[in-house]
Structure 1
Amino acid sequence: MTNSLIPGGLLIAIEGIDGAGKTTLANRLADVLRQAGAEVVQSKEPTTGPWGMKLRESAATGRLQPEQEVDYLLRDRRQHVEELIAPTLARGGVVILDRYFPSMVAYQGATGLPLDELLAANDFAPRPDVLLLLDLPPATGLGRIRARGDAPNHFETEQNLQRCREIFLQLQLPTKQLIDASQDADAVLREAHAAVIGEVTRRLGSNAPLDDEQLRSLQRLATASLA
């Protein structure tokens, strides 16, 4: 099957505290959209690039100063946007991100840095067409982390995750869709899938000019089934 290209691409960001099920949802949602013919590129932040790895290493060895974390995250995100996100969207692909700039606002905002300044620092980053916020209590997320055999890292204390959760919930971003992540994975996928189909359907109903192939691509995605 030839990949269906979407005019302007489709940027889906999956957010939430640790243990919310972001990676599981990203993988399953990507499978559904690929089966519908979309070109799907999955990625995550921090990335495995040089700046992202500095952040990943600090999760195990001890957190950096908040300002240093912000500096590394912004450098990592600029590279991510330039090398992967923007080119994929430009050619009409779907990008699914496991964490994006809202995580920086939540996690570094939880240290006391001003939320409005953190948001403004990310003005260069394309805004998600669909922002899926997986919400659950920190104790539940930590229980899941331990159940899979991992030890919580320096970012994953219950107190810190509670502050992050509160910031995620208060963020006013236009495409944010709140999903109860304490549900089972199938229920979370159904809600996420419905949010994506809603965005595709909105584009079909807009007055934006579409050629025949673009119209067919959107129609295929709009009728994508979970079966």
Structure 2
Amino acid sequence: MTGVFVSFEGVDGVGKTTQVERLRAYLEAQGREVVVTREPGGTPLGQAIRRMLLHGVEGSDVDGSADIAARAEALLFAADRAQHVAEVIRPALERGAVVITDRYLDSSLAYQAGGRELTAAEIRSLSMWATNDLLPARTYLLDMDPELSHSRLQHEADRMESAGDGFQSRTRQAFLDLATAEPDRFRVIDASESIGEVWNAIREDIDEVLAAAGPTGGAR
């Protein structure tokens, strides 16, 4: 593959969408093909899975936050990721595009292993099998206190967002632990800074990532 794969991670409300769009515009201005996608929900199959993961199962008699068993949840995320890689990510990378995804494997590890106390090794193994070992060249972790980030949300909390302060704090720490374990892939950015300051940190780093990758087939 000749393209470049980039992911954005962090708890909800840290500003991933804003920075993804800035990065898209920046790279397209350079003449590169850019594919922006997300998890869960980056494919038609993923959209159906996303509805279950974020809003619970229709017709369930139990609380929406508890109607999907932890292991079933892990399998649903892995199924979404397998389809996402096969249908969207790998074909774009093979064309030489820059692929930017809002969430990927690390969200499963942080939210499921860190937040829901499942075994990280099992979740990672499942997702690596589902994606045939595909990892991003760079992962931007936008880090912020969950209490502050959630105050930014402008929509009704979904199933993950409403899981409680303890869950969100564990998830944040799980993201930071992942970044510590893989310092070559991760860049941790203070998302409490201004939008412009966060973007400047990303821009400076992505220039280095692209220079190291060399020219890609995605340059039009």
Same fold (TM over 0.5): yes
Gaps of 5+ in 2: 57-63
1:57-206 correspondence runs (5 A) = 57-61=52-56, 62-63=64-65, 64-109=68-113, 110-123=115-128, 124-145=132-153, 148=154, 150-156=155-161, 157-171=164-178, 172-173=181-182, 174-204=184-214
Question: Which residue in 1 is equivalent to 2:59?
Answer: none
Q: CA deviation at 1:203?
A: 3.2
Q: Structure 1: how far apart are the matches of 2:14 and 2:125?
A: 26
Question: Which residue in 2 is equivalent to 1:40?
Answer: 34
Gaps of 5+ in 1: 1-6, 205-213, 221-227
Identity of aligned residues (%): 31
Deviations 1:168-212 (A, max 9, x none): 0001233100000011111111111112111122234xxxxxxxx
TM-score, length-scaled by structure 1: 0.82
Which of residues 23, 48, 57 in structure 2 aligns to 1:53?
A: 48
**Length, aligned pairs only:** 201
SS at match of 1:131: strand
> CA, structure 1 residues 117+89, in 2 after alignment: closer, same or farther (shift >3 Å)?
same
Question: Which residue in 2 is equivalent to 1:3?
Answer: none
SS at match of 1:122: helix
Q: Structure 2: how far apart are the matches of 1:200 and 1:86?
A: 18
Q: CA deviation at 1:153?
A: 2.2
Q: RMSD over aligned Cα, in angstroms?
A: 2.1
Q: Structure 2: how far apart are the matches of 1:169 and 1:85?
A: 25
> CA, structure 1 residues 49+183, in 2 after alignment: closer, same or farther (shift >3 Å)?
same
SS at match of 1:132: strand
Moved more, 131-140 or 55-64: 55-64
Does structure 1 conserve the Cα–Cα contact (< 8 Å) formed by 2:20 and 2:102?
Answer: yes
Does structure 2 conserve the Cα–Cα contact (< 8 Å) formed by 1:142 and 1:152?
Answer: no
TM-score, length-scaled by structure 2: 0.84
> CA, structure 1 residues 216+152, in 2 after alignment: closer, same or farther (shift >3 Å)?
closer
> CA, structure 1 residues 151+216, in 2 after alignment: closer, same or farther (shift >3 Å)?
closer
SS at match of 1:37: coil
Q: CA deviation at 1:58?
A: 3.8
Q: CA deviation at 1:125?
A: 4.3
Q: CA deviation at 1:217?
A: 7.8
The residue type equivalent to 1:60 in the other structure is H
> CA, structure 1 residues 70+37, in 2 after alignment: closer, same or farther (shift >3 Å)?
same
Q: Structure 2: how far apart are the matches of 1:17 and 1:56?
A: 19
Moved more, 119-128 or 66-75: 119-128
The residue type equivalent to 1:76 in the other structure is D
> CA, structure 1 residues 87+215, in 2 after alignment: closer, same or farther (shift >3 Å)?
closer
